[in-house]
Copies of this chain bind each other. A is one copy, B any other.
Amino acid sequence: MLLRAAEVSCAENGARLTERRRQVLSVLMQSSSPLSAYEVLDLCNLSTTSAMPAMSVYRILDFLEQQLLVHRLSTSNKYVSCAHIACDHKHFQATHFLLCEGCSSVEEVDATQEASDALEQMAETVGFKLTTQQFELSGICTTCQNSAGRGL
């Protein structure tokens, strides 16, 4: 199970996946689209009796982000669970996110060498040396392309 894998992943870093953290991560994993901190909060408070304060959500999201269990989308200030919690995938190279304008779904993809090179090159021409790159690209996913094509 995904949560179990996340727990192991945390343990490897000497961190704990507590109940609250598990709850937040779970909410994100069950969402098909990115969620804001307050959206996460509301969803958490649907399921539990003891209401979680906003402060906790922010803290926990920071924690989960550090553990690479969730990613933060800076263009929208929202969070998504990592697509590679269960698998052995590591975030070696840059990670990009494809955001569907139709259904708000997100796809996490690794940067291709070509894309990284081309961007590095582009920056180079004005003397910039790139450090981090994480792109959030807007577009239309396969599903939405098909539905649109059939007039749905």
Residues of A participating in the B interface, judged by any CB pair closer than 8 Å = 74-76, 96, 98, 100-101, 107, 109, 111-112, 114-115, 117-119, 121-123, 125-133, 135, 137-142, 145
Selected from B96, B98, B112, the residue in CB contact (under 8 A) with A121 is: B112
Main secondary structure of the interface of A (DSSP, over half): mixed
A123–B98 touching, CB < 8 Å: yes
A123–B139 touching, CB < 8 Å: yes
Find chain B residues with CB under 8 A from A139 CB. 123, 128-131
Find chain B residues with CB under 8 A from A101 CB. 131
A76 to B109, CA, bound (A): 22
A127 to B107, CA, bound (A): 10
How far does the Cβ of A68 sit from chain B's closest Cβ, in whole Å?
A: 19
What are 13 A-B residue pairs whose CB atoms fall within 8 Å in the complex?
Answer: A75-B75, A98-B123, A98-B128, A109-B126, A112-B121, A118-B119, A119-B135, A123-B137, A128-B139, A128-B140, A129-B145, A130-B138, A131-B139
